[in-house]
Structure 1
C-alpha cells in the first residue's frame, strides 16, 4: 500500500493589511464548549485533475482567511482560582492556519473510489490527526493538507469543532473555492457574533480540571463503507414510510436514515427486547425566533435521540412508524426547547466525553445532504467524491453527504 509523503509544511496567515480584526475576541457558547474534549471536523474533496497549483492554493487560502479571522486564530482557555472551572474564547490573532503539501504517488483516484471499503490511506490525507479541540490553544484551528495522487489531488480540511459546525465548515470551503476561482470576496458573509440569551453571564464557566481527561478512546478505526442512494430510491423510501404511517410528514432524509437503522439492527439479530438507539445532530439556525442568520459561524446544533426495542424497530410496517418517531424528535426542537436546554446546560455544564460517540447498539448521524459539497470548484473542475477523516470515528458513526447526482445521497457508515 502506498504511503503519504509530506513535501512541505507551512503557516498561512491572512494578509497583514487585514489585521484590524486581530484583537477580536469571540466567547464560546455551550454549543461550542461541548466539543472541547472531542476531535476535530475532518472532511475532504477528491479531484480527478493534475491542473492545480500549490502556490495558488496557499495564496487564495490567505485571501480567504481575511474573511474568516477565527480560523486564523487560537483558542484561549482560562482556568479560574478554584482550578476546577474555566472559561474559553477564540482570539483572532492571525497566528495562522497550517498548510501541508503531501504526495501519495502510487495512489490513483480509482484506488479511492472503487473498493467496497474506504482505503485506510484516506485518513492520512488529513493533518492534525488525533488532535482534540481543546488543544486549539497551541495548535491551528484550521489545517489544510493537499495530497497529490497519481492522477488527481485530495484536499483534506481539518477544522476545530469548538469553532465551527458542519454548516460553518462548508461555508468556509465554499468561500475559498470562490476566491480560488477569482472572486475578490465570498458571495456569503459569515456572521461571527455568537448567540447568548440576555440573562446569561458571559464568558460561561464550565468544568475543566485536567486536559489529560481527553484521552484517545481508540487507536484503531473500524472499516468504513460509502453507500450511494439514488434520488429515485430515496423517493421510494419516502413514499413507503409516509404510506405506512398514513402521513405526509416524513422527509426523504428521515425515511433513508430509518431504513439504514432498521437494516443494521436486522443484521445484528438482537434479542427483540433489547433496546437500541439512534442519535441525530439537529441544526437550530432556522428554529430560533428570530431565526439565526443562515451564515452564523459557529456551532448551532443540538442532539436528539430515539430509543426503542429491537423487535419493535424491525417489525413489518416499522419504516413508517419509526420514521415518525424520528420526526417527533426533530420537531420537538423549537425556539422554546432549545433555549431551555441552553440555559439548563449553563446551570449544570458538561462536556461530551469521547466514549459517548461509540459503542453498544447506538448509531449516530452527523453532517447533512444540504451542504454544498460538489459546488466546490477551485478552478479546475468539480470534485468527484467527498470523504471524511478518522476524527471522532467509531462503531455506529454515520456521516451523510449529498451525492454527485442531484437529489442523491451518500452515507458513510
Structure 2
C-alpha cells in the first residue's frame, strides 16, 4: 500500500468573532510544566483513528482544527524556557502541523488489521522524531473507498491520555460546527504550578526513588537492549473476547489453591486481570531466571485520587503516577492468577491522595536536583525486560470521536519508530462487544513463545 503526502502546512488558532480573540492572539503566555509533566516521557505519543464514509473534506477538518486550537492553545505552542530557565510551554500560537495524504487502497478489514502492527502504521501519522517543533502533528489519509484515517502525534510532556482525548473530542465538535465548551477559566486550564504546589513544610511519607525517579547514569539508557542486538521488536495484537475476559475474571476470583474454599473478591477490574495475565505470560515467554526480580509499571490517574485540592475539570496537563507491583519470576509463574491480581490491586490502591501529595512534596524539596535524579520514564530505553509497563486506554472513549460523518470503527495506539519491548497498551476492542485488545511489543526471539501462552490461563513458555 502506497501512501502519498500531498501537503504539509502549519495551522494556527482561529479565534473567529470572539471578543477577546485579538488580545489573546497578541499575547504570549508561558505555561510552567508541573511536576507530573516533568516526569512524563519526553517524547511524542501517537494514535490513529479510522472512519468510514461519509467523511468531511480536508478543508473542513483543517478549519475545525484551527477553531479547537483557539481554545486549547498549548497544542499550537512550543516547548521553551520560562524566566527561571525551566522548561515550559510557550503559548505563541506558532501552530500545529497538518498533513494531507492519500492511499492507493480500499480500507478493508484486512488492511485495517495489517495496519495494527505493520510498518505501514508509521506512515499514517506525521514523523515527530526528526526535529519537529510542533507539539501536535496531525495527518489525514484518504482511501479510495472514501474512508479516512486521522493520525496524530502529540508531545507527552504537554498532556496525558485524558487531556489529549479532550482536545481530540473538541476538534471533532468544531469540525461538526458544535460550540466547544470554553467556559472553563484559562487559569484553571493552564495554572499547573499552584495546583500542584508542595506543602510547607514538606511531608514526604513515601520513598519516590526507584519509582518516579532514578539516579542519573550518563549514557547507560537502553535497558538490556545490548543483549538483543540485531533482534527486532515485533508488535503482536492480542484480542480477548468478552467470554474470555469473563473466564479470566472468574479464575481471578477463585481460590488461590486447589481444595481451598472459593471466596469472592469485592471487585476485580478488567485492567488488573488482563495486566496480571500478560505479565505472567511475558515473563514465562522471556524464560527469566526464577530468582530474577520482575516489576510491572502500571499508570494510575490522579484525577480521581487527589482531593485537596482536586484536579479541576478541563485540566489540560499530566496527572499520572505509577504503581510498581514487584515479585520474582518464579513466584509469578507458580502463584495463582488471583494472587497476581491481588498484588497489582494492592499496589494500585497504595497510590492514593497521600502518595500523590508526598510525591509533589518530594519533587519540590530540592532532593531531585541535589541527588541529580532523573525520571524513571526513560524515552531512550529499548527494552523493559525483566519488567513490563501497562498503559490502559480502557477508560478513554476514543470511539465517541465524531468529525461529522461516522464515528471511528478502529483506533490503534501508535509506537515510535522503535517500539519498546514490554510496553503494553490495553484498550477497548473496536468490535464494541466488551472485548479487549492488547498491543504487546516483544523481541522476535520471544514473540513465538508468547503467542503459545497468551490465551492460556496457566502460561508456560513450553
- TM-score class, shorter: 0.7 to 0.9
TM-superposed deviation, 1:397: 1.1
Distance 1:220 1:379, change over 3 A: farther
Aligned to 1:140: 134
- Aligned equivalents of 2:183 and 2:404: distance in 1? 19
1:350-400 CA-partner distances (Å, limit 9, x unpaired): 244324462322211124201011111211111111112232721111112
Compared CA separation, residues 295 and 402, structure 1 to 2 (3 A): farther
- Cα RMSD after superposing both structures: 3.1
Find the aligned partners of 1:44 and 1:299 in 2 and give their Cα distance: 21
Instruction: After superposition, give the CA deviation of every residue in 1:199-255 in whole Å (9 maximum; x if it has no partner).
Output: 589xxxx9xx9xx9999x999962212222233322322222122354224322101
Equivalences for 1:161-310 in 2 at 5 Å? 161-186=156-181, 189=184, 191-194=189-192, 195-197=195-197, 199=199, 222-244=233-255, 246=263, 247-290=265-308, 291-310=310-329
TM-score, normalised by the number of residues in structure 1? 0.85
Secondary structure of the structure 2 residue equivalent to 1:270: coil
Match for residue 61 of structure 2?
57
Look at both structures and tell me which one has the larger radius of gyration over its CA atoms.
2
What is the rounded CA distance, in whole Å, between the counterparts of 2:395 and 2:56 in structure 1?
27
Q: Deviations over 1:313-362 (max 9, x none)?
A: 122x5211011110111101111111112222232152443244623222
Superposition deviation, residue 111 in structure 1:
4.2
Question: Does 2:28 match 1:28?
Answer: no
Give 3-state SS (helix, strand or coil) of 2:389's partner: strand
DSSP-derived class of the 1:243 partner: coil
- 5+ residue gaps in structure 2? 202-212, 257-262, 441-462
Q: Distance in 2 between matches of 1:289 and 1:253?
A: 24
2:13 equivalent in structure 1: 14
Q: 1:47 aligns with which of 48, 51, 57?
A: 51
* Alignment size in residue pairs: 393
> Any unmatched runs of 5+ in structure 1?
81-85
After TM superposition, give the deviation of residue 50 of structure 1 in Å. 5.6
Q: 2: CA distance between counterparts of 1:141 and 1:249?
A: 39
Q: Match of 2:341?
A: 323
Q: Is the 8 A contact 1:116 1:225 kept in 2?
A: no
Comparing 379-388 and 246-255, the one that deviates more = 246-255
TM-score by length of 2: 0.77
Secondary structure of the residue aligned to 1:339 is helix
Provide the C-alpha distance between the structure 1 equivalents of 2:382 and 2:304, rounded to a whole number of angstroms.
26
Rate the CA distance shift 1:54–1:365 in 2: closer, same or farther, 3 A: same
Per the alignment, residue 365 of structure 1 pairs with 390
Q: Secondary structure at the match of 1:295?
A: coil
Contact kept, 8 Å, 1:178 with 1:186, in 2: the verdict is: no
Match among 342, 349, 360 for residue 342 of structure 1 = 360
The answer to whether 1:398 aligns with 2:417 is: no
CA distance in 2, matches of 1:262, 1:401: 19
Change (3 A) 1:117 1:269: farther
Give 1:308 deviation, angstroms.
Answer: 1.3
After superposition, the Cα gap between the structure-2 partners of 1:213 and 1:47, relative to the gap in structure 1 and judged at 3 Å, is farther
**Cα offset, 1:272, TM superposition:** 2.5
**Does the 8 Å contact 2:172/2:401 carry over to 1?**
yes
